[in-house]
Structure 1
Amino acid sequence: MKRRIIALLTAAMLLMAICPAALADPATTTPPATTTPPTPVTEAKNVSVSVGSPIVGTGTVFIPVTITNGGGVDIKLDPTVTTKGTVLPKSIAADAVTIPAGASVDILLNPAFSANNSGTFADLLTFTFDGGKITKTANITITIDPAAPSPSPDPSKPAAAFRLSSYDPNGLVVTTASGKNGGKVLVRLPLMCVSGPVMNIKVAPKLSTSLDEFPFAIERVDYTVGYNGFINANQIIEFQFDMRFADKVTAGVKKVDFTVTYERGWGSAEGSSTESCDVSLYVNVTKGYEAAGETPGGETTQTLPKLVVDSYSFSEEKIYAGETFTLTFTVRNTSNEEDTKSILLTMTNNAETGKLTPAEGSNTLYIDKLAKGESKTLSMSLATAPDTEAKAYELKLDFDYEGTKTRPATLAKGASSASIPVTVLQKIRLKIDDPTVDGEAMEGESVPVYFSLYNMGRSPIYNCMVTVEGDGLSLEDSIFQGTVAAGNSMRADLSVITATPGQIDGEIVISYEDALEEKMEERLPLSIYVNEGFNPDANGGMDDPGYIDQPTIGGMDDPSSSGTPVWIWIALGAVVAAAIVVAIILLKKKRAKMLEDV
């Protein structure tokens, strides 16, 4: 009986285990999910705005802007650009251009500004797109230079837009054109724009029948060369002329004048106007013409020998105002047939009286004799006045001498001259305040830093740039301050991004150029303590002692559970319940049998 009951219970349990599986719905295969490509978007992080060097005109300024859309959809610039109103109006009208996805668009802002201001000003331009959905900012620095070339007292002669540059557009030094009489020579004329923008530039040498004023053979009707594009302030452009020294030009350094014609005022209400200015350079005739002359009595004899300056040098690489220097030069007798004697040399600087003077009082030198073809090297100590303007000056050397051959009195004495250019600089004197960190710095965010620079010298500085150096430091936007005139100041407002927490020690680097375009720099120590940024994984996560993990029931639906499967516990419970039922039935039958026996 017991065996039957056990067998029945076993069968019942098997039936209970099999029926749910048999009655369950057949398994269905879930088709693989399809991947939907992401919808292209353009966000603020995909858009960049770059502001070029502003071009300052009379009561207006031209601001070139490049907008780059690195996103997936086109964006449209809102028609108003706002500023802080430092020197520009607080709102500037802009063309509502569309910037295609993956492309860049250039625009030109043309706001008015207060012409009564002077110095260097920083402002912040704010650009919005698609009705304000995207906002981008960019720093701008505008320099209003009162030391720029001022108008001539004659209103018909406006300020010159160009000056001679020592360097070509690639930053290489331009050497003086040199050659022999009758020889070909390439004359290079590098010009720096000091007052732009200008356009349609034309350059032509001033022709003359005097070989001292124009030492070249005139072989063409017109020597004009031109450039039809735009030139901005502080930009260098070079013009070249293929020339030939005249056959009868004498040896020595010659001054050549050029006229530069250009247009300015484009885009203004009055329209463009044509202006001009003069620039000069020097060429060196290393060997010149020696002619035969004729005496009043009809007897032909060789003219007096010619004295020239073969070469010259200065004791200092750079000559600064208020200092002394030594000029060393070599005088040569170009004649191959006759000696010279009683040579008196006089040095003058008539154009700028008092700016370049002999340091020892006398401006004359004496040479007893120079044999034919002989050279002699001489030196003279010169002083520059402290207020000497930074530019090129002309020293003139005049020679009075006699030949050794017998001549009539009218031909007994000779004279010649040479010119030596001297470039005088003013020393750069800058005072720079310590940088100020405005507020607390947070990791991964930008913090405002500002400082002021004062130009206490007598010469402007050009192409002033501000950057930062240091581990974990970078600028949100590059800072270009342009020209800081003598006696003026600038304020630089930086937005410094800090990448790592803790103490960061770096430097602010201020780079600039002097009048000869030599690059210089100043460094300011910058110390910033950066607070650690907010990290959501470090607050309220699994490692937080206050976090309570919700319990799970191990079983078939929880693959991560390592306990006994739930169906085993159910089967065991069923077995125990069945055993209890069987025991009760057996006890009842046994008791009934005992009562029957009684």
Structure 2
Amino acid sequence: MKKLSAALALILAFTLLLGSTVWAEGENPNAKATTQGMLFLDNENVYAGMDQSYSDGYIPPVEGGRVRIILPLIPAVGLASQSIIVSPNYGDPDTSPFAFNNVQRTVRKGSHQINDTSTNQEAFLVDMYFNLVKEPQPGRYPLILQVSYNDGTDLVTQDFTVYVTIEGSASTPTPSPSPDAPESPSPEPPVDGGGSIGGGGGGGGSGTPDSQPRILISKYVVNPEVVTAGETFTIQLSLKNSHEKQDVRNVKLTYKSEGTDILPAGDTNILYYPKIKKGAVQEAELQLKVRLDAEPKPQKVLVTLDYEDKNAQALTVTEEIVVEVAQLPRVEYDDPIVPESISAGDSQSLSLNVFNKGKGQIYNVMCQVEVPGLMPEGSAFLGNLEPGGTKLAEMVVYAAMPDVLPPSGGAGAEPQDDVDTDGESGGEVLPQDPQPRAESDEPAADEGVPEGESDTDGTPSEDDFADPLMGGYGPVSGIIRITYEDSFGQVYEDTVDVATVITEPYVPNVPTDTEPTEEPQGFPWWGYAAIGVGVAAIAAGIMLWQRKKRKAWMDDEME
């Protein structure tokens, strides 16, 4: 009886010691990785939620009917993938302590604090909880985490095995051995990183269970790449059974939008495949359409795959596909404000209101005047325009002056720079005829039309428009060119017609005689002196005559 009690105590002590060390398969120096890959366990550092590193014996904590697994994976140099997909393989349903649930987690690469310091380590940090059955049996159990990622050329699945210890309760009864039962042998110590545990009482160890088959979307193509609101589009999928030993059956593919902007284009959103063989790829095509009022942004399409493994166990996986949705820009304009006429040499402004009546923002809105004879001082850059917004474009243009202004005296006459020696002007300089005629024996088109009258009904014809190469006057027409971009950088261009008249500038008459004329001589001083003497003599004569007349009158009175 003492020997039996000692044996049972030894078995119990050995079972408790099993929880002191936990290895992730692939990192144990005495065990080989189940799958060669580009991810490696970081067994040197302690991450948030861990009490110690894997090399020091990290134990996944079991509490509240569930176990927490923290698995830091360091990517190898050259692995460009920014995310991994993690799913568990619980093992044999009859002996596993884990509650079987369809669990899948996408883990992104990030920078994580280690060892309670300010130092960070770039890693894929897997932090997941797994539920246990209601009354799990004590023991040490393997939990295989299947990690899938793209190594740049192919889809890779790498397995990491973490051992979880379920400790027995102190009140758990110890079974009494049969009197005829042989004495239980002493347990052998476990092999580090092994997938089985030795047991007492003739119990054998359990081997590593087969991994569950997994269907992955190895490739997808959205056609067209950018889908315009209101359009129908397709998604071509490649569904790969990544398992090398098991077929999958009764595969049901269901697809839908994460929101309400994308809808199935057909009568159903379900596809069915009876079987996908091990390692095989099944092609699928999804038909969808985008609502007219869809928001222009990246939209998600959710693809759910329900299937069964060889044991008819139901499995589910959900993937996301991003679809770029765009709204066609809807830009409108009011009538541009253009002056009826512009004098040559003057500057005037043109203006135009731009309205964004679409559902998406437009970018880099620019307006530019392109009219022969009008030189814009610059383009009007309006920047970005929100949906329902409006902006005013103002552009200043300069009416070009003719390069040559020949004097009157016939079309094509040369300017007269010579002046007669007698000082007479050679003629008045007048503005140039807008289009000088070439010398020809045939009469000009406008000969015989009285001066000041027109041979048209007042509507300018095509020949009446000014020639920008000649720098002439008259009606001119052109466009305002408007360019803008959508959110994907696609450039759009619109034009608005404009017309005006370039008129002659005011040029005053300028005489050509430039020699100074001789100023007239002033009245000589001696003339003024003679006039003064004459006036004085006349005054003296008048006074003398009056004196004589008075004397004669006085003499007559005295007589």
Higher strand proportion, which one? 1
TM-score normalized by structure 2?
0.46
User: Computing the radius of gyration over CA atoms, which structure comes out larger, 1 or 2?
Assistant: 2
TM-score normalized by structure 1?
0.43
